[in-house]
Structure 1
């Protein structure tokens, strides 16, 4: 598999297949939202758009980076979100890097959003689809965030069918600037368990697939059974 690793500013053309990586914390949060029962996640381009989308969808939950803010129901923290019942609800998500990266490649034929918590399911879906060329969008720090690059490199190796020890990749992520800022409370809206939750490899058995629906970039879970497993009940729909 031909893998490219690009930051958001380096996206000069629309890739055919894109994996948008935001480990700390956008797509870890997204995976937890689905685990807590969310039906779909709508990715917003700005805080104002997020609030407008929430107003258009009764019962929707809006979340963003940083401290709690008027109109937003939650912050971008897996530790805080894991106790919230989102059964059947729409989540509107706006973050500094992850949602920006996904929206930047919305015209790609296949867009996956990923973190370590869905790494193997993401790699398995790429293998299942026979993706020869994949652009990994390293969203943090203009493509320099080591937690995102480590995750992207790990997924790329697994997608190529290479047996890979995850320990080194997880160590890099745990030693990253983002992890330190979360641990030290530099970033707002943080739960003490956030870093550990972001480093839970393969916590969830589904990939996160984003696609344009009625003009909106919508993220949904897509179950990717292993070769020895049957279909998962979370989402058996074909892409």
Structure 2
């Protein structure tokens, strides 16, 4: 498998298969959303779009980066999500980088969204799909976020062989700028446990597949047999 690691700004053409990585925190949060029972996640283009979707569907749950805000039900924090009851719900998610990355590759034949918590399931799906080339979209810091790059490289290794040790990749992620800012309380809407939760490997047994549905980009969990 030929793995390419690109920032969102470096996407000059639509890849065939894309893995969009946002460890801290969009796709760790998305995995927790599904673990708490949600049916699907709608990836919103903007905060205004998220609020418009919420207005049209009052039973949907709106989630955003940063501090709580009028019209939004939850913040982008896995520590907060652990206590949310989302059974059967639809969640609308808008984040600074993660959702932007997925929407940037929405025309790819296969779009996976990932963090460490779904690494092996994502790698297994890539192995099953058998793609020759996979583009990993490193969403944070214009492709320089080491937690995202480390996770992308780890998944790429796992997709081509199962013997890769996660320790070095996790060490890089733990030493990243995002981890430091979350630990120091520099990002609003954070929980003290967020970094630890983002660095749990294979917490969940599903991959997350995004695809167009009724003009929306919708993320759903996918469990391989």
Is TM > 0.5 for Structure 1 vs Structure 2? yes
Native 8 Å contact 1:57 1:90 kept in 2: no
State the shift of 1:162 in Å. Answer: 4.8
State the shift of 1:58 in Å. Answer: 3.0
SS, match of residue 3 in structure 2: strand
Task: Map Cα deviations across residues 47-83 of structure 1 (whole Å, 9 max, x no partner).
Answer: 0000111122231000100000000000000000110
Q: 1:54: which partner in 2? A: 54
Count of aligned pairs between the two proteins? 225
State the shift of 1:28 in Å. Answer: 0.2
Task: Map Cα deviations across residues 61-107 of structure 1 (whole Å, 9 max, x no partner).
Answer: 00100000000000000000110000100000000000000000000
Q: 2:112: which partner in 1? A: 112
SS, match of residue 23 in structure 2: coil
Task: Map Cα deviations across residues 18-65 of structure 1 (whole Å, 9 max, x no partner).
Answer: 000000000000000000000100000110000111122231000100
TM-score (normalizing by structure 2): 0.99
Q: 2:194: which partner in 1? A: 194
Q: 2:223: which partner in 1? A: 223
TM-score (normalizing by structure 1): 0.93
Which consecutive unaligned segments of at least 5 residues does structure 1 have? 226-239
Q: 2:78: which partner in 1? A: 78
1: CA distance, partners of 2:8 / 2:224: 27
Q: Are residues 1:138 and 2:129 paired?
A: no
Q: 2:151: which partner in 1? A: 151
Alignment of 1:81-96 (within 5 A): 81-96=81-96
Which consecutive unaligned segments of at least 5 residues does structure 2 have? none
Q: Which runs of 4+ in 1 moved over 6 A?
A: none
SS, match of residue 205 in structure 1: coil
Task: Map Cα deviations across residues 113-163 of structure 1 (whole Å, 9 max, x no partner).
Answer: 000000000000000111111000000000000000000000000001251
Q: 1:42: which partner in 2? A: 42
SS, match of residue 172 in structure 1: helix
Q: Are residues 1:23 and 2:23 paired?
A: yes
SS, match of residue 84 in structure 2: coil
The two structures, once aligned, show a CA RMSD in angstroms of 0.6
2: CA distance, partners of 1:162 / 1:86: 33
